[in-house]
Structure 1
């Protein structure tokens, strides 16, 4: 293996940090690892930067500085963490994921005037618009036979030339990585305030780190799953299936414990302030989660309610719901009607903009409020609230 020109590599990093000082802390946190296996430069999840001596010898310092920034961008944008959340089929196509990530990064770097080596990819290479996230680029890309590999710090899958997790040689922990991301985002915000603009992608990234947008679907799904699990935790005795210990007691039949699957009631605010599209989107999310946890349509009752209950029916899909109403708003009526159903629900989910009176005290059923809109008033503290942005898709 050709010996790595350390002076050239470090000179390129110094140039990158000097010209983009808000990236300096992140750049200097990378541990340099010479490697003949890596094609150019790459990073792993632990912030180790693998450098090809041959690539360094053939590349100018300005272009190497651009590659330094490209590689640290994979780590700052948590590309490996986001890749872990992709569908399994996409995760297996790691090099195509890498290309999509390169598109997300390189349009910002080129807009920032950075020099990058020949052979780079950018959205225009595939006739795609700039300014997108890699998750948006991925389904629009063709398959690739050969392309660059930026390492597990990008696509998430360790390469043969990477040091094993327990192999030492420096590295940054998850906690340290999060601190670096926040420090870098704060430095970017200060740079933008004092010296001018940033590329749109970096600006969006910094804003997301400092003022994160909550994924309401994930929060809602978690709340519904937890509530269903809580309601399912109730046990009762039944003689329909005698206890296994009955055989040991002559003439005595012992009941067995059962863990019933709860019924769920969904109360939908159909007053004039609510939009059908918002309601349908939130209802589809709720019914999807219920199906995942095994609560089928035969155990879900949907009640449309404004100031009175307009419709109540068991449904198997969101399309079957009759969103009747349009008058005033009082979700207490819908909640009371839900609790009075013959099959009393263990979980009641309310989809509303929040401008409604609420019951004065909790009941034995778990209550979740999915609050739709930009600034809904908070429900009582005992109501589990999830905020759903209006017009979310």
Structure 2
């Protein structure tokens, strides 16, 4: 908190300092002050200044209009939550716009100019005269140094988790806040890119396991009469794909996920007899070496225990370097890492999490 006679009411900078006019405090009821406080904090929690930095340059220069659009994003949630914002508050309905949209949507629908509203750089991202400057030096004697980006993300996550706990306890939260909390706690990730990255990393890790072989003697053997020296080799990674074919897995889910996984394997250069596929529910139903998804035989439909499939994968004659488990997560897992790279492709947004030692990628669509 930074007292300031220059700010008209309240405002925030991008370093999480809140500037407050003492005159505004004196003349405003406590309940309204609290509502304005929540409004200003919402700019920071929703990273409005960061999002504003991604706008086209012309929009960024029109900071007042950006600020109005941001207020529309915030205030419909605060009003629906019963917070007594002061008269003159900016809401989507004042511009004939629907509630529940992001500020980027409102911005495109607002009139081109004529606004003077300003909540500070913590909203629109542009510095204003009443702010104190950089993060590390707060105004001498009247305020703290600012909050850094790591602390800011921690505050956002802590708040989002508290909101979700509130929903579980009472079941109520304005739609915009619910959407925001879900996005912070479960950010949208391109799972195909994440899966490809995990497989590439595993393949690189396996390919780095240099070993000796006598199949190709070392060239140094020629200088040592009667002695055969082994050469170094860098093995190509072998991959096992364990497919959950239990009753809880639909055929369409399995087919879609399997097509993606085989595509990823081809993309990273792993194909042919380097891939073993095991169909598993509570027991291993089929094991096959494949070169395409069409060659895979799927059977099962009973209970679920991926521990059996992982154990079977590690017992094949040529032990895999990477095991990919396609499952809806409704399964027990091994108690410890079985000294092999395990990647769990968890199908569906509600799939339970795998153990922390398992690399997990959520397949959401």
Aligned partner of 2:77 in structure 1 is 108
In the aligned structure 2, how far is the partner of 1:129 from the partner of 1:339? 58
In the aligned structure 1, how far is the partner of 2:56 from the partner of 2:254? 33
Sort the Cα spacing of 1:72 and 1:347 in 2 relative to 1 into closer, same or farther, 3 A.
Answer: same
Written as runs of structure 1 = structure 2, the 5 A alignment for 1:110-125 is 110-111=79-80, 112-115=82-85, 118=88, 120-122=90-92, 125=95
Aligned partner of 2:216 in structure 1 is none
Aligned match of 2:243 in 265, 268, 281? 268
1:104 offset after TM fit, Å? 3.4
The answer to whether 1:295 aligns with 2:268 is yes
Sort the Cα spacing of 1:126 and 1:321 in 2 relative to 1 into closer, same or farther, 3 A.
Answer: farther
Sort the Cα spacing of 1:172 and 1:353 in 2 relative to 1 into closer, same or farther, 3 A.
Answer: closer
1:224 offset after TM fit, Å? 5.2
In the aligned structure 2, how far is the partner of 1:353 from the partner of 1:118? 50
Aligned partner of 1:308 in structure 2 is 285
Aligned partner of 1:367 in structure 2 is 342
Aligned partner of 1:164 in structure 2 is 134
* CA-to-aligned-CA distance 1:45-99 (integer Å, 9 cap, x gap): 321235799xx99xx8478775443211122445557x49xxx966977669866
Aligned length: 333
Q: Given the two structures, how large is their TM-score scaled by the length of structure 1?
A: 0.54
| Aligned-partner SS, 2:40 | helix
Sort the Cα spacing of 1:142 and 1:366 in 2 relative to 1 into closer, same or farther, 3 A.
Answer: same
Q: Is the Cα–Cα contact under 8 Å of residues 160 and 180 in structure 2 kept in the other structure? A: no
Aligned partner of 1:234 in structure 2 is 209
* CA-to-aligned-CA distance 1:90-147 (integer Å, 9 cap, x gap): 69776698666544311112222533565835378474453x6x4xx64686377557
Aligned partner of 1:23 in structure 2 is none
Q: Given the two structures, how large is their TM-score scaled by the length of structure 2?
A: 0.57
| Aligned-partner SS, 2:122 | coil
* CA-to-aligned-CA distance 1:261-304 (integer Å, 9 cap, x gap): 7454432223332024544675577678879xx72564884736
1:386 offset after TM fit, Å? 3.7
Q: Is the Cα–Cα contact under 8 Å of residues 46 and 180 in structure 2 kept in the other structure? A: yes
Structure 1, unmatched stretches of 5+, are 1-29, 239-245
Q: Over aligned residues, Cα RMSD in angstroms? A: 6.2
Q: Is the Cα–Cα contact under 8 Å of residues 304 and 312 in structure 1 kept in the other structure? A: no
Aligned partner of 2:43 in structure 1 is 74
In the aligned structure 1, how far is the partner of 2:67 from the partner of 2:263? 31
In the aligned structure 2, how far is the partner of 1:233 from the partner of 1:289? 20
Q: Is the Cα–Cα contact under 8 Å of residues 79 and 153 in structure 1 kept in the other structure? A: yes
1:203 offset after TM fit, Å? 6.8
Sort the Cα spacing of 1:61 and 1:40 in 2 relative to 1 into closer, same or farther, 3 A.
Answer: closer
Structure 2, unmatched stretches of 5+, are 214-218
Sort the Cα spacing of 1:204 and 1:267 in 2 relative to 1 into closer, same or farther, 3 A.
Answer: same
In the aligned structure 1, how far is the partner of 2:76 from the partner of 2:330? 44
* CA-to-aligned-CA distance 1:345-367 (integer Å, 9 cap, x gap): 42111012456687798655312
Sort the Cα spacing of 1:278 and 1:149 in 2 relative to 1 into closer, same or farther, 3 A.
Answer: farther
In the aligned structure 1, how far is the partner of 2:256 from the partner of 2:123? 32
Q: Is the Cα–Cα contact under 8 Å of residues 42 and 149 in structure 1 kept in the other structure? A: yes
Aligned partner of 1:142 in structure 2 is 108
